[in-house]
Copies of this chain bind each other. A is one copy, B any other.
Amino acid sequence: MSDDRRLDVLRAIVEDYVATQEPVGSRSLLDRHQLGVSPATIRNDMAALEDEGYIMQPHTSAGRIPTDKGYRMFVDRLATVKALSPAERRAIETFLTGAVDVDDVVQRSVRVLAQLTNQVAIVQYPSLTRSTVRHIEVVALEGARVLLVVITSSGRVEQRIIELVETPNEQLVSDVRSRITQATVGQRLPEASLRLADMIETFAPNDRPIVTSIVTTLSQTFTNERSDERIAVGGTANLVRFGSDFDTAIKPVLEAIEEQVVLLKLLGEATGGLTVRIGSETGHESLSSTAVVSSAYGLDDQALATLGTVGPTRMDYPATMAAVGAVARYVGRMLADN
């Protein structure tokens, strides 16, 4: 028995099942693929593949469907990378170009990714903790109000308005601004936060109440977990295509979307480049019939955050992987250009 042909059979099963959503039998498999052998031979191969755990029968005398292990094998060794069509590339490009700020980039990429893959797309906002401080501004507003603005290397702008105990004089504001700038620009946010803490005592005791509230607010902004955890989700309408089984396929995903924590964990666990997690590999029991394709994105070598799609294990992996990879690259480039 040829080992190669057996893998061809597995590939054919995955492709057919993805296309038709129905268990594939030996005859219909031969209708769609030229394998040069008879159904009986295929049946033998199938039996062997089933022994090894790559495929299974939903019930005796139905066709076979791939197991998670089968999909894994397909993704690792059998799938030929499907390049994006020029039209798709252009779609990404035109869709992302013209974004006015980081929020806009994220929201546009969610949409384009959902549209390309026909799945649920999730994009994590660029991580604050992994970027550096590019600019800091302290502006006195009317009364004792002060506007603090932080611009990070990824182009993200965070601002906060605080009310001080008393109105600061112009001199102090400008002094604080320049010394904070001095201490933090170029630093990674967590380190910048530490530096700030050391700074308070270098001011005159009189000024400390004001300086302290400015510095602690900034510090909070630097280490703000909320911003670090923000994600955008799109393409929920595509859930409709996940197949008919509402309870096992659609409901868990809706719940995961609601529980953003779960999504963040899903994205966060992806180590680096293009990652595919199938069924139980997601680490969430309720997502057992779901697969996550994700990729880190960032500037050059430095990963800023992760984006990806959630879909049924029965998905077109080559196409999805190509789309996720391409969008990740484009987004990285957008942020680099700023």
Contact = CB atoms under 8 A, between A and B. Distances in A.
Q: Interface residues of A: mostly helix, strand, loop or mixed?
A: mixed
Given A149-B149, A161-B157, A254 B226 contact: no
A141 B254 CA distance: 43
Contact of A239 (B147, B155, B254): B254
A300 interface: no
A82 interface: no
A92 to B, nearest CB: 18
Interface stretch (A24-32, A188-196, A230-238): A230-238
A258 interface: yes
A254 B234 CA distance: 10
A246 B250 CA distance: 11
A161 B150 CA distance: 12
A230 to B, nearest CB: 9
Contacts of A237: 251, 254-255, 257-258
Interface of A: 100-101, 104, 114, 135, 137, 139, 141-142, 147, 149, 151, 155, 157, 159-161, 226, 234-237, 239-240, 246, 251, 254-255, 257-258, 338
